[in-house]
Amino acid sequence: MIVGIDLGTTNSLIAVWDNGAARLIPNSLGEMLTPSCVSVDEDGAILVGQAARERLQTHPQASAANFKRLMGSDKTLYLGKRGFRPEELSALVLRSLKEDAEAALGHPVTEAVITVPAYFSDAQRKATRTAGELAGLKVERLLNEPTAAALAYGIHLRDGESKFLVFDLGGGTFDVSVLDLFDSVMEVRASAGDNYLGGEDFVTALVEHFFAAASVPATLRADPHFMQRLAAQAELAKRALSEGPRATIRVANGDAQYALELDEAGFEKLCALLLARLRAPVERALRDARLPIAELDNIVLAGGATRMPLVRKMAARMFGRFPACDIDPDQVVALGAAVQAGLKMKDAALDEVVMTDVAPYSLGVATTMHIDADHFSHGHFDPIIERNTVIPASRVKRYFPLQDTQRVIELLVYQGEARMASDNIKLGALTIPLATGNAEGVDVRFTYDVNGLLQVEATLVHTRDVHTLVIEGNPGLLSAPEIAQRFQALSELKIHPRDHMENRTLLARGERLYQQLRGDERERLGREIARFEQALGTQERRVIVPAVDVFRQVLDYFDHQSFLLPEA
Ligand code: AMP
């Protein structure tokens, strides 16, 4: 059985293809969304998901989030004393999802389709593959997120040609992709995005406005607990504005109460700049795909932040029609990954679809430009595979040495869009020795496969000698022996038992709230936490089960109380 996994920046999900349909699998808390957060607790056990997210606030030094942004880099994040690479943290999230699926399905899960943003580079894709391996999963395929969203909408089942745009606004990133389905071939024609635009920016806008409009003293910006409470209330207000016309943000600080009521129009005004930023990536993707808006058959929404009516309105205004949003935008990518898993397993219910994607960046080499007889300009970037070329792709270009006396050609491989090679990302170098005496040409072939992995092959025209690229110790990636060693090390980590996760998550939430509260309320919550711990200590189901209910109600009360206070 192959599972489909959406390994997200904020949240991750796992789904299976079952009885002819894609189905999500809940985690041990019964939730479909597992926060992509990892934390190490006091006795060294690893916590993944909601408990880790709560601990981001109470134990920031022992917790991590947003590591998807670092995939493909060699950054080390420290949780307590132990350092983790981004792919190891992703592996812990994947492992937790794998265990949830195994518990639900009753058998081992060893193969997965994992989604990645369409713009992920070669190194980021390889790191994602490694994360899968470290989690004990064979990665059957890396699937572009927009392609997954399209599969969830069953666009691959349509007859004839269909051109559509996937508009994906997540917690921290905005991705736009233009896809084309023709004769059962799904092609990503172009992708563009803004890596620093997402749902969280709308919360920041609310927080900023709150300080000004509710006359909050600026000194409170330095109080992390006040800021956390405010951010949490702003998040709730943002969501409330997706459901109804009004929301109120109320935050207390000791005896001082600050409040702000906001309606949809007010919120829209606050977010005007953010909404305007949605336009440029859409335009770039359409331009790269050479497609006028009018030729799009469909617009598909993905990412939790597209639940916001103002984002939908903006999209409708841009496209002159309403986008498709029948599937929960949080779930659409994971469901599509499961559809792809179903295709892989050649389920009879699905027709075979050939899928193609595009290269997210231009890939090429550094060259020297001949300006006139005596003048050269070095270090120009010469793309061999251009951005948004349909992949798998294989392109060849012939290069010549500058002088007859030259004995080697130094091939420097780069990725990016800048004119000068040094402004792009260097992927590797290949030194090709030349036979003596003649200025012989070299055919440089770049082959980019469906998983976004690049191979460089240089063939000397005269001798047919072939050299393949050995990437110079890329600091962003692990070698095979390193992967094996880290797999072993991760397997030895103590993981918090799955069946205790619910209680552990409630306790983490209690601790987070305890830090946020003050005075009598803090004292009361302290007593409730102690009571809950005591109930857990009995290890008796008949004591624990009702205690869980009571404790959850207490936490809900404190988390939402500012909404329950009577109107001033
Ligand atoms: P994702 O990265 O796709 O999980 O998206 C998460 C983002 O979606 C976060 O910024 C959430 O605040 C946002 N989000 C989720 N549900 C809603 C909702 N009902 N209304 C507004 N934003 C939401």
**Cα 156 from Cα 165, distance rounded (Å):** 14
pLDDT, residue 38, reads: 97
From the CA of 197, how far away is ligand 1's center (Å)?
Answer: 12
Over residues 15-69, the pLDDT tens digits come to: 999 988 999 999 999 999 999 999 999 889 999 999 999 999 889 999 999 999 8
98 has catalytic annotation? no
**Cα 233 from Cα 118, distance rounded (Å):** 33
- For 349, residues 6+ apart whose C-beta sits below 8 A from its C-beta are 20, 342
| DSSP state letters, 94-120 | HHHHHHHHHHHHSS---EEEEEE-TT-
Reported confidence tier of residue 252, pLDDT bands at 50, 70, 90 = confident
Active-site hit among 68, 98, 163, 238 = 68
Q: How far is CA 137 from CA 128, 141, 346, in A?
A: 11, 11, 20
168 has catalytic annotation? yes
Instruction: Write down the H helix ranges in 345-460.
Output: none
Over residues 160-190, the pLDDT tens digits come to: 888 999 999 998 889 999 988 877 777 778 8
Which whole number is the average pLDDT over 207-217?
96
Q: Give the percent of the chain with pLDDT over 70.
A: 94
Helix (H) or strand (E) holding 201: helix 199-213
Over residues 265-314, the pLDDT tens digits come to: 999 999 999 999 999 999 989 998 899 999 999 999 999 999 999 999 99
200 has catalytic annotation? no
- For 556, residues 6+ apart whose C-beta sits below 8 A from its C-beta are none
**Cα 261 from Cα 501, distance rounded (Å):** 37
The model scores a pTM over 0.85? no
Q: Collapsing DSSP states into helix, strand and coil, what is residue 334?
A: helix
Q: Is the pLDDT of residue 563 over 50?
A: no
Amino acid letter for position 367: T
Q: Phi first, then psi: what are they for 75, rounded to 5°?
A: -60, 145
**Cα 427 from Cα 383, distance rounded (Å):** 13
- For 415, residues 6+ apart whose C-beta sits below 8 A from its C-beta are 121, 122, 361, 362, 363, 424, 425, 427
pLDDT, residue 553, reads: 93
The residue among 138 and 440 whose pLDDT is bigger is 138
Q: Identify whether the C-beta of residue 144 lies closer than 8 Å to the C-beta of residue 116.
A: yes
CA-235 nearest atom, ligand 1: 12
Reported confidence tier of residue 347, pLDDT bands at 50, 70, 90 = low
The residue among 256, 265, 258 whose CA lies nearest residue 230 is: 258
Q: Phi first, then psi: what are they for 371, rounded to 5°?
A: -85, -50
Q: Is the pLDDT of residue 348 over 60?
A: no
Q: Collapsing DSSP states into helix, strand and coil, what is residue 26?
A: coil
Q: Phi first, then psi: what are they for 427, rounded to 5°?
A: -100, -30
Rg (CA), the chain: 26
Termini Cα distance of the chain: 57
Strand pairing of 442-448 and 454-460?
A: antiparallel
6 has catalytic annotation? yes
**Cα 24 from Cα 32, distance rounded (Å):** 7
**Cα 142 from Cα 132, distance rounded (Å):** 10
Q: Write down the number of H helices and E strands in the chain.
A: 15, 27
From the CA of 307, how far away is ligand 1's center (Å)?
Answer: 7
pLDDT, residue 211, reads: 96
pLDDT, residue 439, reads: 67
Provide the token pair at 393. Answer: 């792709």
pLDDT, residue 450, reads: 66
Reported confidence tier of residue 472, pLDDT bands at 50, 70, 90 = very low
pLDDT, residue 353, reads: 53
Name residues contacting ligand 1 (CB within 6 A): 8-11, 170-171, 198-200, 235, 238-239, 242, 303-305, 307-308, 330
The residue among 438, 489, 495 whose CA lies nearest residue 463 is: 438
Active-site hit among 54, 88, 168, 330 = 168
